[in-house]
A and B are shown apart, each in its own frame.
Chain A
Amino acid sequence: MVAIQVEYFAVLREHVGHAREHLTTTATTVGQLYAELDQRYAFPEVGRVKVAVNDEFRDWTSPLQDGDFVVFIPPVAGG
């Protein structure tokens, strides 16, 4: 089990209903964490989602470690 923090933005924040949460999980990769949270929240279909850990983009197979800060990044639309 690892204790982590997740922050949600934009369409995911509105869907989940809060911006941040602390949680403990048995997930060992960020992809597994996304699947676990998708089970809980039934994330909306938004297209290709990316992930960041500790403020850097990461692959979905990246390992989760105690204290990690995870952000799921729905399709961006700056400009």
Chain B
Amino acid sequence: MSHFGFSREPLAPERYRALVADPVAGGYASFEGWVRNHNEGRGVVRLEYEGYEALGIKEGNRVVVEALARFPLARAHCVHRLGVLDIGDLAVWVGVTAAHRDAAFAACRYIIDEVKSRVPIWKKEHYAEGDSGWINCEVQPADAPAGSVPP
């Protein structure tokens, strides 16, 4: 079973928590990413997440498997929301259990950082002024480093 999933329905942490329950676990650490009402000085009214699901599930699972190899964990799982989200909605959930808390905290951090930078998910912010933008994709030509585009 994959350690990473997508959901088009609101995330229910109490349900996912059961996925990482384990008799050997002495600690549980989780991270919840929530939709906030501002970004880079602008008012945000809602978000849209789009995912390349077939590759996203593979890459997300690779991230969690890496965490299971790097840290002495019991279990780990991550779920990312797709679709239109309102302020305060849960966008991503990471849950990790381990015999001891140090590994649980470190692995939780590892998973969210790697998921954010590697899994093919895109975020569109809708602003209070009515416009919108794809995060990390709005580049001024002068900002693009040489060789940053494909051959």
Binding site for B on A (CB under 8 A): 7, 9-11, 13, 31, 34-35, 44-49, 51-52, 55-57, 60-61, 71, 73-79
Contact = CB atoms under 8 A, between A and B. Distances in A.
Contacts, number: 97
Contacts of A71: 52, 55, 120
Contacts of B138: 46
Contact of A77 (B54, B58, B136, B139): B136
A75 B55 contact: no
A26 to B, nearest CB: 16
Instruction: Determine the interface band of chain B, counting residues with CB < 8 A from chain A.
Output: 35 or more
Given A55-B58, A71-B55, A34 B150 contact: yes
A74 B137 contact: yes
14 contacts: A7-B52, A9-B52, A10-B124, A11-B122, A44-B137, A46-B138, A47-B139, A47-B148, A48-B148, A52-B55, A55-B54, A57-B59, A74-B134, A79-B115
Contacts of B55: 52, 55-57, 71
Contact of A78 (B121, B137, B139, B140): B121
Contact of B137 (A7, A35, A52, A75): A75
Contacts of B59: 57
A7 B136 CA distance: 20
Interface secondary structure of B, over-half rule: mixed
Contacts of B148: 47-48
A9 B50 contact: yes
Interface of B: 33, 49-52, 54-55, 58-59, 80, 91-92, 112, 115-124, 134-141, 143-144, 148-151
Nearest to B117: A76
Given A35-B150, A79-B33, A79-B115, A9 B139 contact: no
Given A60-B151, A71-B52, 13 more contacts: A10-B134, A10-B137, A13-B50, A44-B137, A56-B55, A73-B120, A74-B122, A74-B134, A74-B137, A76-B122, A77-B123, A77-B134, A79-B91
